[in-house]
Amino acid sequence: MALARWRTDFRRWEKTPGSPVCEVDLDVDRMLRARLEGLLPDAGWLSEETVDNTDRLAREAVWVVDPIDGTRDYIRGREGWAVSVALVRNGEVVLGVLDAPARRERWTATRGQGAWRNGVALHAGMRSALSGARVPTDALPKIDRHLTIVHKPNSIALRMAMVAADEADLVATLRWGNEWDIAAAAVIAVEAGAGVSDALGGTLRYNKPDPTAFGVMVAAPGIHDEALAWIRPRAEAASIR
Contacts of residue 103, defined as CB under 8 A and 6 or more positions apart, other chains included, come to 79
Q: How many domains does the chain have?
A: 2
Looking at 94, 121, 148, the residue that finishes a domain is 121
C-alpha radius of gyration, the chain, whole number? 17
d(C-alpha 31, C-alpha 38), whole Å: 11
pLDDT digits (tens, 9 = 90+) for 194-239: 999 999 999 999 999 999 999 999 999 999 999 999 999 999 999 8
Please name the amino acid found at residue 201. G
Within-domain flag for 128: no
Check whether residue 82 and residue 155 sit in a common domain: no
Q: What is the pTM of this model?
A: 0.97
Q: Residue 181 annotated as binding?
A: yes
Q: Report the C-alpha dihedral over residues 16, 22, 26, 27, rounded to 10 degrees.
A: 180
d(C-alpha 107, C-alpha 150), whole Å: 20
Looking at 74, 94, 121, the residue that finishes a domain is 121
For 13, the domain range is 2-121
Within-domain flag for 129: no
Check whether residue 113 and residue 153 sit in a common domain: no
Check whether residue 147 and residue 203 sit in a common domain: yes
Looking at 73, 92, 121, the residue that finishes a domain is 121
Q: Residue 75 annotated as binding?
A: no
Q: What is the CATH number of the domain that holds 24?
A: 3.30.540.10
Q: Residue 48 annotated as binding?
A: yes
Q: How much is the pLDDT for 149?
A: 98
Within-domain flag for 41: yes
Dihedral of alpha carbons 13, 14, 15, 20, sign: positive
Q: Residue 66 annotated as binding?
A: yes
Q: Residue 225 annotated as binding?
A: no
Dihedral of alpha carbons 123, 126, 129, 131, sign: negative
